[in-house]
Amino acid sequence: MSQTMNPAAALTSSAAVLNPEIMLYTRLRKSPYFWKSREHGVAMYSVYNHTYHPRHYGDPVGEYWSLLNGVTIWDVGVERQVEISGPDAFAFTNMLVPRDLSKCKVGQCKYVFITAPDGGIINDPVLLRLEENRFWLSLADSDVELWALGLAHAGGWNVEIKEIDVAPIQIQGPKSRELMIDLFGKSILDLPYYYLNHYTLNGMEVVVSRTGYTAEIGYEIYLYNADHDAGKLWDTVWQAGEPHGLRPVGPCHIRRIEAGMLAYGCDITRDTNPMEVGYDYKWMVDVDQESDFIGKAALKRIRDEGISRIMCGVEIDGDPLGSYNDGSMIDRFAVYSGDGGKVGEVTSACYSPRLERNIGLAMLDIGHSELGTKVGIVTPGGPRGGVVVPKPFIDPRKETPKG
């Protein structure tokens, strides 16, 4: 790896600031829960969907253990909700995503990709079907509303597309059931994995789904009239949660990397197609369905011709990396083969406290993706050894979140 370079090593100037601040001001958006999460001591922000995103409250590893053993609350108001409704809503939304939505019932949720004509991934939201012709896209970090508006206008679709005043919070962890029973009653336990239902909580209209971005048991509470009622919902949940040890957290990237879960902008971008992420395309991308969708021809060609790279799991030697969520991974880590040629990049990496080793997701050339392949990885601390391993690292059949 003699030709490799670590940009962080160039920070030798006396003027360099190790951890520059991010400014809080008026141009960036705030989650409806922004001030409530600040009351609880948010220590770091990033920006997601043009919105300040609480990353952690001072101890991301402590938050990880609370997620594994207790119950947590996470402000995910950054997941902007784009609603698609109207007479053509089903046909339009089915054209937008590679999954066959004829298999998505009213009251069901689906994890979906939104793809471009070349098959590249534009977003990977959770889709909620509230009515026959009414859908929410709970967005990852990209401007899907503008994409959908442009498509609808150009195609003359009879749909209404708008960002709505609905904001979710996540209640996650093995003790989330007890808290949700206190809030909604025992019938909440009848809600199946990846389904939703409508409730009234303390006078507020909400939708509850059995979903989350943690790979643990959990729920999301989607609040209507969020700009007005966000503080009331937060306080209602907090008061009910205190006896259960409820803890505010940010996104637990240690747990999602353990689970092999993707982060848009980190692991996948417009330059990534669904065949490359290592999921079984037969459930995420149905190129044989009767209906057409954007990117279908490209993805069928990619399926038939094969891919040149794929997302893999890697273990990385050396001292513990950070939690990822603490700003310890500014850039992707270059990956090299034994002969010094670059063969890919680690897109997310962290130290797993319960596995007691460094783990990561890496997009690697197919020729270097076989399990057990030895690679070299350039981290901020210098070159290290690595090996290709199976992913997910824990709970490969997702039995934990299914409960």
Torsion angles phi and psi, residue 309, rounded to 5: -150, 165
DSSP 280-297: -HHHH--TTSSS--TTHH
Low-confidence ranges of the chain (pLDDT < 50): 1-4
**Ordered structural domains, the chain, with CATH:** 29-79+166-254 (3.30.1360.120), 308-395 (2.40.30.110)
What is the pLDDT at residue 22?
Answer: 87
What span, in angstroms and rounded, lies between the C-alpha atoms of 364 and 332? 13
What totals of helices (H) and strands (E) does the chain contain, helices first?
Answer: 10, 21
Token reading at 166: 């609905």
DSSP assigned state of 7: G
| CB 299, CB 287: distance < 8 Å | yes
What is the pLDDT at residue 120?
Answer: 97
DSSP assigned state of 332: P
DSSP 197-254: EEEEETTEEEEEES--SSSSSEEEEEEETHHHHHHHHHHHHHHHHGGGT-EE----HH
Closest CA to 378 of 321, 325, 323: 321
- Beta bridge partner(s), residue 170: 74, 220
Strand 134-138 relative to strand 72-75, pairing: unpaired
| CB 289, CB 335: distance < 8 Å | no
> At how many degrees (to 10) do helices 226-241 and 176-184 cross?
120
What is the pLDDT at residue 6?
Answer: 57
Look at the alpha carbons of 309, 310, 316, 320 in this order and tell me if their dihedral is positive or negative. positive
**Binding residue ranges:** 220
| CB 177, CB 244: distance < 8 Å | no
pTM of the model: 0.95
What is the pLDDT at residue 389?
Answer: 97
**Binding residue ranges for substrate:** 220
What is the pLDDT at residue 155?
Answer: 97
